[in-house]
A and B are shown apart, each in its own frame.
Chain A
Amino acid sequence: MSTYRFIVLLVTMVSIDHAIADAPLLMKDISASQLYTDKEIQQQTAIADANQKSQLTILQQEFLTFKNINQLDIKKLTKQDFALLDSAIQYQSKAFKKHTEGPLPIAIFDIASAAKFKLKQHHVWLKSQTLENLYRSDWSGFKKRFLESEDVLSVSEQAAKLELVKKLTTKETLFLAEQLMNSRSFQDPLLIEVILQSKNIDYLGLLLNKLQTPIAHQIIKENISQLEKSKQAELLKSVIESNQYLASQALNQYAKLPNGYRSKSWLASKLKDKHLGASVAMAIAQSNDPLRYEELSAIVTNQKSKRVEVANALLALRFAKNEVADEHLKKLVEGKYIRFDDMQQEAQRWLK
């Protein structure tokens, strides 16, 4: 099917009766001919290519349009491609299948979203070309543009900058990181990217002590483990102390460090922490040190131990999931050494 045919198809199909904007389309809003089963979808899409010249069903027309959009090369879009994409972003699907769990018609091919995404990718690519040219020809001009406030830039330029960071030298990223730290928060994606690319441990530490976005978890899991063990321990301790948001995950990474790099007493001291104590219990459990179990039992039996401390000591034994720890738990439960009734009952249930 030619691109021209797609455009004609889209133009003729754009008009559709819209349901009210704050409600989904319901079964009563579509005709029976617009509804397809999984089997029909499979059959019709399989033969859609072959049937291009004969009469196509709505489903097949949408399938081919969707496929065509996805196959467009964002670096080589023609006039016709743009016309197709521009029409497609307004397209309302007409071929549906029934939702698996209830009476709701679901569009089979989201042509509009595919077109929007393709255009977005194209714009990012265009921006990245401009930025890369500037980077290669005019460092000063590039610097200025790179450091410009995000507020005045398009989304595609921001995305292009993020992509470009990978091509910068360590020295350049270090310089840019220093500049950006003066003006942006540690949640800023560009600042995060240049710091990661700079591989500067001090900056990484500063970043992790503040960071609360999803990428933080990837950094804790992947980037930090590439550092030498003592550095990892130092960084993770700092994160645990200063970034409550990341502390639980950081504790888990800390627990994985070899024995000599972990401070047992420091970990134990945090068992009574109201917010983090349970995560500390998990960390202690994962350090897999049977000698700790005596100490944990002692915390439980000590009359001076606070409620939170007793709870977390019990949790550490529970999380250890091994026979020695279970034996300690059993002794504590059967000997009724747990002085808080609700905890005694909860621990009792673990042993069932």
Chain B
Amino acid sequence: MVKIIKKSAIACLAALLPFSVSSEVLTYTENTNSNTQIAFGYPLPIPIDSMTAVNGFRSYEFLKAHHESLAMLNPEMTSIQVGTTHNNREIIAYQFGDANNVDSDGLIEPAFLINGTIHAREWQSPEVVTELIEQILERKTDESMVQYLLENTNIVILPVLNVDGFLQTQRYPINVTNSPGTTASSSQSEKFAQPRDGRMRRKNMPNVDEVLSTETDRFNGVDLNRNSFHFFGVQEGNNDPLSLIYGGTNPFSEPETQALLEAAKLGPESELRFYQDTHSFSRVLFVPQPNNARLNTITQNIATRFQNATISQGANYFPVIDDVGVGIATTADYFAYEHLIPTWTLEIEPPQGFQGEPNGGAFYGGTGASHSGFVSPDSAIARIRDQLAPAQLLMFYHQAGPAYVKSIRIADANGQVVYAADWQTNGNTRSLNILTDQNLNGGEQYQLWVQFSKPMRWRNNGALMQYPGQSVTLSPSLSFTGNANGSFNRNISTGASNWQDQSGGELTGFANYRDDALLVSFTMPANVNVSSTSGTTNFNLNISVQDFAGLDIDANPATVVDWANGSWSGLENTNGTLGDIGGTDSSYQIKVANSSLTLSTGGNSSGGGGGSVPWLILLVLGLVRLKRKSR
């Protein structure tokens, strides 16, 4: 505390001295170097007054107007003022979804929160977040992933949190003030080493007059990414008001961080399943790891999926995993530790620290001058925006949760439904409502239609393919198993083409979204063993599928999957064990009659048992069956 008072007193004294009223204003240039200028090696972006996306960085006024226009034109996007900055400017969050807050089962929707521009100088952030908004709205009627997300989840995006700071950087797009402790006679590298105001402002703007040259206030402000509860004040500098990483007087002391908490309430917080704080630069994800092994496994898994999605787009966003239980009071730390959900700090390009790749502005052929990484050239931002949107959307899709089988229909060759079952949700449980349950006959052909709770496959221009950067088995796995008079296992041949991308509903096409259903023809094996008394046997229909984010379906839809204590709840694997991995759903018993009484096994069946039955017994059974038929 003494240290703080001492530093503050020095700052106050400095402010009163006549020779220190003006700081030295320095300039970033394309090619010129001098004692007050430093070359980046490419043209410095100047904010562009355009509402539509351009090859450059939009001014805050036009970016905000663009967000407002999208919210006005699209009922799926709603604006909510979540706070007001120190300088009395609105902080707006946008909510994306349908009119209700429940999913197709009537359950409260899972929520995701994306925060942008917490650090003023990181101009890549609002552009990347805005691209995400644009892609959500452009694809809102895609009958696939985005429409599913809008109808079944709640996405909250806050494009610019540090509005005052961001405006300060845009007010002085090529100017900064000299580093702390330097004077006009210091060397160029010393002056430019730690620029703190103008284009390189990071913090918010309490008691800052917006005039760049004012010496007395240029170090003021709180690092909003050190103003959270968990790990508050742990770093050297967090308690020093003049430090770049000053954390404020207490956690959430700042109106901007309070606004972020308000944005989280739109989820509401209890339904949050993913949080991303969007920064630049370094081209990595900083991934907090609370002391929760299941959460950490899930988070690392999706961070890898995120990375793979970006690699497929030509970038490599590498996950840097924090040590367990270690943090620095970032907002990603807060949401990870407070709500036990996957979170990270996304550091947008340029890269930093990758061997063989130039750092910062040198990545774009520039000089690599200090802090040039915060200044991507205009020509790069459109690519950056596009590269990151698929990965972010995939995170929403993944964290929406594992799919489950919603409905089964089996029809005979005449189109007559012989088996129909729907899962009906009631609170946290479901029951299987069997609507039709007739015998299927051995040797006859049927159509099987299975509906899932989410779109299961990804298409590009109509062609079914892997989601960018992912690798899942595209063909579902279906089989019949039985054990009456010997075990029996017969796979139903499936292919990618069985996924339905035309509307039509049961036994015809998809139900709600493209590829949320598959339709397969199969022939009921003729060589099945049946009960000697009933002439039928029960087969289990087994369904095993991964969605396009690689999540296996819930093996037991009877318990509704949710998110609790850092992991999935109600998710069972094939053996019925609760955990974070789904499996094969074998909930469906199909009655099969064997009219032809061909009791030998064969074909593709594995197991079987008919062959091991003594011939005498078979003969007796056959006679009994013949006698029955003749009645």
Contact = CB atoms under 8 A, between A and B. Distances in A.
A10 interface: no
Interface string A281-320: 1100000000000000000000000011001101100110
Contacts of B181: 42
B368 A106 contact: no
B50 interface: yes
Most buried by B among A102, A249, A281, A315: A102
Nearest to B236: A37
Contacts of B71: 346
Q: Is the interface of A mostly helix, strand, loop or mixed?
A: helix
B320 A26 contact: yes
Interface in A94-135: 99-107, 110, 112-114, 116-117, 120-121
Interface residues of A, number: 70
Nearest to A308: B73
Contact of B244 (A100, A279, A342): A100
A249 B69 contact: no
A140 interface: no
Most buried by B among A103, A217, A308: A217
Interface in B308-329: 316, 318, 320, 322-323, 328
A238 interface: no
B630 interface: no
A247 B316 CA distance: 34
B72 A346 contact: yes
Contact of A311 (B49, B69, B316, B378): B69
A24 interface: yes
Please tell me the size bucket of the interface on B.
35 or more
Contacts of A19: 355
Contacts of B25: none
B362 A110 contact: yes
A101 B330 contact: yes
A51 to B, nearest CB: 15
A318 B68 CA distance: 9
Interface stretch (B5-13, B189-197, B426-434, B490-498): B189-197
B352 A314 contact: no
A278 interface: yes
A18 B323 CA distance: 23
Nearest to B188: A70
Given A110-B360, A315-B68, A24 B50 contact: no
A217 B50 contact: yes
B73 A252 contact: no
Interface string A217-249: 110010000000000000000000000011111
B50 A104 contact: no
Contact of B378 (A45, A214, A275, A347): A214
B367 A117 contact: yes
Contacts of B54: 214, 217, 245-246, 248-249
B358 A104 contact: no
Most buried by B among A45, A105, A214: A214
Contacts of B365: 117, 120
A328 to B, nearest CB: 15
B286 interface: yes
Interface string B280-300: 001010100000000000000
Nearest to A345: B78
B340 to A, nearest CB: 20
A235 to B, nearest CB: 17
A217 B52 contact: no
A24 B354 contact: yes
Interface stretch (B40-48, B104-112, B214-222, B609-617): B40-48
Contacts of B189: 45, 63, 66-67, 70
A315 B68 CA distance: 8
A46 B286 CA distance: 32
Nearest to A282: B65
Contacts of B225: 101
Contacts of A153: none
Contacts of A120: 365
A22 B360 CA distance: 16
B56 interface: yes
Contact of B73 (A46, A117, A311): A311
B351 interface: yes
Interface in A183-223: 212-214, 216-218, 221
Nearest to A341: B75
B353 A104 contact: yes
B50 A248 contact: yes
A166 to B, nearest CB: 13
Contacts of A45: 189-190, 193
A104 B379 CA distance: 27
A113 B367 contact: yes
B80 interface: yes
Contact of B316 (A22, A114, A346): A22
A67 to B, nearest CB: 6
A278 B50 contact: no
Contacts of A110: 358-360, 362, 368
A176 B55 CA distance: 27
B365 to A, nearest CB: 8
Contacts of B352: 24, 99, 104, 106-107
Nearest to A250: B50
B279 interface: yes
Contacts of A352: 81
B508 interface: no
B62 interface: yes
A42 B193 contact: yes
Contact of A346 (B46, B78, B320, B351): B78
Interface string B430-451: 0000000000000000000000
Contact of B353 (A20, A46, A105, A345): A105
Nearest to A108: B370
Contact of B81 (A70, A103, A307, A349): A349
A276 B69 CA distance: 11
A152 interface: no
B356 A113 contact: no
Contacts of A107: 352-353, 359
A309 to B, nearest CB: 11
Nearest to B237: A38
Contacts of A218: 46
B520 interface: no
A110 B363 CA distance: 11
A73 to B, nearest CB: 11
B390 interface: no
A38 to B, nearest CB: 7
Contacts of B45: 214
B554 interface: no
A188 to B, nearest CB: 14
Contacts of A66: 189
B353 to A, nearest CB: 4
Contact of A214 (B31, B55, B78, B316): B55
A312 B73 CA distance: 8
B465 interface: no
Contact of A23 (B73, B79, B318): B318
Given A248-B62, A342-B75, 13 more contacts: A18-B356, A19-B355, A24-B352, A25-B355, A102-B322, A104-B286, A106-B282, A116-B358, A213-B55, A278-B51, A346-B72, A346-B78, A349-B80
The 6 closest A-B pairs by CB, nearest first: A113-B362, A102-B286, A113-B368, A278-B69, A214-B378, A24-B353
23 contacts: A22-B354, A23-B354, A25-B353, A25-B355, A42-B181, A46-B190, A67-B187, A70-B33, A70-B189, A104-B320, A106-B282, A106-B353, A106-B359, A110-B359, A112-B358, A113-B367, A247-B52, A281-B69, A282-B51, A282-B62, A311-B72, A311-B73, A346-B71
Interface of A: 18-26, 38, 41-42, 45-46, 63, 66-67, 70, 92, 99-107, 110, 112-114, 116-117, 120-121, 212-214, 216-218, 221, 245-249, 252, 275-276, 278-279, 281-282, 307-308, 311-312, 314-315, 318-319, 342-343, 345-347, 349, 352
